Amino acid sequence: MSAATAPPAPLLGAEGLVKTHHGEGGPVHAVRGVDLTVHRGEFVAVTGPSGAGKSTLLHLLGGLQRPDSGTITLDGESTDSYSEARWAVERRRSIGIVFQFFNLVSNLTVADNVELPALLAGASPKHARAEREKLLAELGLDSKARSMPGELSGGEQQRVALARALVNHPRLLLADEPAGSLDSKGTREVMRLLTRFHQRGQTIVLVTHDARLASAADRVISFFDGRISDDAHLGGPTSRRTGPGGVVELKD
Ligand SMILES: Nc1ncnc2c1ncn2[C@@H]1O[C@H](COP(=O)(O)OP(=O)(O)OP(=O)(O)O)[C@@H](O)[C@H]1O
């Protein structure tokens, strides 16, 4: 095959990932050798029992923790030599992350929480504001722009966290139990939003123990005892792009 026809490198690659935590109770082998490839446009759910190592895997993929061994590639580029600062830049610009407990900045307004990553990435205040307005409208939160996070419901806070994670049009969205602290209505809302952004082309890796949430994905990886025990493609298209009418234009 000539270089011109070679398939593009996967957006995310992991090879031989190993991570052991050293807690008070001794070593915990959380990730015991994981190989994983995620292509652009995929929506991958990682499911498994509590303690299987799912969150640790997600933290490794987002550079929040470093593997003891193994390599992570982004767009075919090894991250082995990435400093903490370089990972922070990637998380600002090309990897959005949402967490179970939202992690919003409590003394900033909703608007400022969403604009902050854009400003830190070098966007002009005008551009950051326009992106924030677009996303908050899309997520049904425009009337909450001046509210403080503590004034919002859990579901609303998670939508703000989603807006913040998406404001820089990341190549990859990582979600760690995003509905873990929400009621069933909030869970359905998160599911609906993840599905919508995925249909517009957003690549997503979602960690969840909730089978209902995982069913929104088009690929479900079962994780058990630090390893992938099953990897099921559910038949959806692996790459879907947004049309010109899409509110969020994805850059990858
Ligand atoms: N910082 C840490 N220090 C020590 N042990 C840790 C640390 N983080 C995770 N662990 C342990 O590593 C194992 C895997 O944890 P992890 O949070 O990755 O699993 P999980 O599958 O996401 O679980 P859950 O669904 O309950 O969140 C668990 O036994 C956990 O207690």
Please give the number of the atom of ligand 1 that sits closest to the Cα of 226.
14
DSSP string, 34-50: EEEEE-TT-EEEEE--T
Compute the distance between CA of residue 61 and CA of residue 13 in angstroms, rounded to an integer.
9
Please give the number of the atom of ligand 1 that sits closest to the Cα of 23.
4
Judged on CB neighbours under 10 Å (0-12, 13-18, 19+), 81 is: exposed
Which of the residues in the chain have pLDDT under 70?
Answer: 1-4, 235-252
Quick one: pLDDT at residue 166?
96
Compute the distance between CA of residue 38 and CA of residue 172 in angstroms, rounded to an integer.
10
Contact 103, 62 (CB under 8 A): no
Ligand 1 centroid to Cα of residue 239, in Å, is 32
Quick one: pLDDT at residue 187?
92
Q: pTM above 0.95?
A: no
Nearest CA to ligand 1 atom 18: 53
Q: Is the CB of 55 under 6 A from ligand 1?
A: yes
Quick one: pLDDT at residue 12?
97
Q: Which CATH class is domain 30-69+79-94+170-243?
A: alpha beta
The domain limits of the chain are 30-69+79-94+170-243, 106-169
For ligand 1, mutation pick of 24, 34, 50, 99 (most atoms within 8 Å of CB): 50
Ligand 1 centroid to Cα of residue 49, in Å, is 11
Quick one: pLDDT at residue 226?
97
Nearest CA to ligand 1 atom 28: 51
Quick one: pLDDT at residue 241?
34
Q: How do residues 164-199 score in pLDDT, each as one tens digit?
A: 999 999 999 999 999 998 999 999 999 999 999 999
Quick one: pLDDT at residue 211?
87
Q: Is the CB of 226 under 6 A from ligand 1?
A: no
Q: How many helices (H) and strands (E) does the chain have?
A: 7, 10
Ligand 1 centroid to Cα of residue 68, in Å, is 15
Ligand 1 centroid to Cα of residue 51, in Å, is 5
In the structure encoding, which two tokens stand for residue 111, read together?
């608007």
Quick one: pLDDT at residue 4?
63
